């Protein structure tokens, strides 16, 4: 663990050097826990928000977190130099990036608050691939748009832009982030794909909007996880076909139309 950068409360950015870890694909995650802590008992799943290879061959990963309970608290309290357990990369990332399919046309990335952590690697990958995207960033309040400047820079480098909304109007337009997304679609912005990560209600709304607009999309979902690697079978996501998929193996990224929102 290299450092924990305290962002405006309750957010934090944790950077860790992990020996022998393969780079994560956009949407993949790691299971982590605070150092030497018996509690909370289970590790926590974190999207790999950013990563870079270190000169010694290890991988430096960045995890963007929000303190919401005992697990995230333990991580936010890590001190530089502490050794923390990291298992990963885990799960299935964004298919349309991995497949190299539907890589043309503009993309809309829709994040709700800390859901932006799940779209970090994707934004970098799109930027590197030269694919234009707009980043829709919604939160309750200005401090929930904790990485707004990063996503502004990345989206503008692709010729796109950052669109912000907050429920209290403290940053961007007052309201929900789905409103400018729908307006953009009506105005003919030419999005061919929408990617989303955030609260369940947001992702469900994005799925409805994408279906209505006839565009493809994917969501990086989240469920409570026991192990993160497919052993406990605890992280079932209900699919439209009536079956279940494991968030940690078949997910966490699912095509929007697959999931029974």
Partner 1 sequence: MVSAGASSLASPDLSTRVGPLRLQNPILTASGTFGYGLEFAERADLHRLGGLVTKGLSLEPLAGNPPVRIAETRGGMLNSIGLQNIGVDRFLSDVLPGLKDLPPKVIVNLFGYAQDEYVRLAERVDPYEGVAAVELNVSCPNVSKGGIEFGHDPDVLSGLVRRVRSATGKPIVVKLSPNVTSPQALGRAAQEGGADILSAVNTFVGMAIDTATKRPVLSTIRGGLSGPAIKPLALRIVFDVAREVDLPVIGIGGIETVDDVMEFLLAGASAVQVGTALFRDPRTAERLVDGLRARLRAEGVPSVDSLIGAAARPG
Of residues 174 and 240, the one with the C-beta less far from partner 1? 240
Alpha helices for the chain (secondary structure H): 70-76, 95-98, 120-129, 148-157, 178-186, 200-213
CA 148 distance to own-chain centroid: 14
For β-strands 11-18 and 59-66, DSSP reports them as: antiparallel
In degrees, rounded to 5, the angle at the alpha carbon of residue 85 between the alpha carbons of residues 84 and 87 is 140
Q: Interface with partner 1 includes 22 (CB under 8 A)? A: no
Among 18, 30, 32, 33, contact with partner 1 (rule: CB under 8 A):
33
Among 234, 250, 257, 261, contact with partner 1 (rule: CB under 8 A):
234
Q: Interface with partner 1 includes 232 (CB under 8 A)? A: yes
Among 2, 7, 35, 42, contact with partner 1 (rule: CB under 8 A):
42
Of residues 5 and 238, the one with the C-beta less far from partner 1? 238
Q: Closest separation between CB of residue 38 and partner 1, Å?
A: 8
Q: Residue 24: name the closest of 101, 128, 94 by CA.
A: 94
Among 5, 141, 189, 238, contact with partner 1 (rule: CB under 8 A):
238
Q: Interface with partner 1 includes 223 (CB under 8 A)? A: yes
Q: Interface with partner 1 includes 230 (CB under 8 A)? A: yes
Q: Interface with partner 1 includes 224 (CB under 8 A)? A: yes
Considering only 32-40, 52-60, 96-104, 184-192, which stretch makes contact with partner 1 by CB under 8 A? 32-40
Binding residues for partner 1, total number by CB under 8 A: 26
Q: Interface with partner 1 includes 226 (CB under 8 A)? A: yes
Task: Give me the sheet containing 162-166, strands edge to edge.
Answer: 173-174, 162-166, 133-139, 106-112, 191-197, 216-220, 253-255
Among 167, 192, 229, 257, contact with partner 1 (rule: CB under 8 A):
229
Of residues 37 and 255, the one with the C-beta less far from partner 1? 37
Among 129, 208, 233, 240, contact with partner 1 (rule: CB under 8 A):
233
Q: Residue 25: name the closest of 83, 107, 88 by CA.
A: 88
Contact of 228 with 220, CB cutoff 8 Å: no
In degrees, rounded to 5, the angle at the alpha carbon of residue 98 between the alpha carbons of residues 240 and 96 is 50
Q: What residues have CB less than 8 Å from 206, skipping those under 6 apart?
A: 110, 178, 181, 194, 196, 217, 219, 256
Task: Report the interface residues with partner 1, using CB under 8 A.
Answer: 33, 38-43, 85, 87, 223-227, 229-238, 243-244
């Amino acid at each position: 663990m290299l450092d924990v950068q305290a962002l405006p409360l309750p957010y934090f950015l944790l950077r860790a050097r992990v020996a022998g870890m393969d780079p994560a694909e956009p949407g993949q995650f790691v299971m982590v826990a605070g150092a030497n802590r018996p509690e909370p008992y289970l590790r926590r799943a974190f999207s790999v928000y950013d990563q870079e290879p270190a000169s010694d061959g290890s991988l430096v990963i960045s995890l963007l977190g929000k303190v919401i309970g005992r697990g995230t608290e333990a991580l936010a309290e890590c001190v530089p130099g502490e050794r923390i357990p990291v298992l990963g990369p885990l799960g299935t990332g964004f298919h349309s990036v991995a497949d190299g399919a539907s890589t043309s046309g503009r993309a809309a990335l829709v994040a709700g608050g800390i859901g932006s952590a799940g779209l970090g690697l994707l934004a970098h990958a799109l930027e590197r691939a030269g694919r234009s995207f707009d980043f829709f960033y919604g939160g309750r309040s200005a401090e929930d748009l904790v990485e707004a400047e990063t996503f502004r820079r990345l989206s503008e480098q692709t010729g796109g832009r950052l669109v912000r909304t907050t429920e209290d109007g403290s940053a961007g337009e007052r309201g929900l982030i789905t409103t400018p997304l729908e307006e953009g679609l009506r105005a003919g912005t030419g999005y061919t794909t929408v990617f989303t990560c955030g609260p369940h209600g947001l992702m469900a709304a994005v799925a409805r909007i994408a279906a209505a607009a006839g565009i493809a999309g994917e969501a990086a979902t989240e469920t409570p996880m026991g192990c993160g690697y497919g052993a406990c079978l605890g992280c079932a996501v209900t699919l439209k076909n009536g079956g279940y998929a494991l968030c940690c193996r078949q997910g966490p990224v699912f095509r929007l139309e697959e999931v029974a929102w």
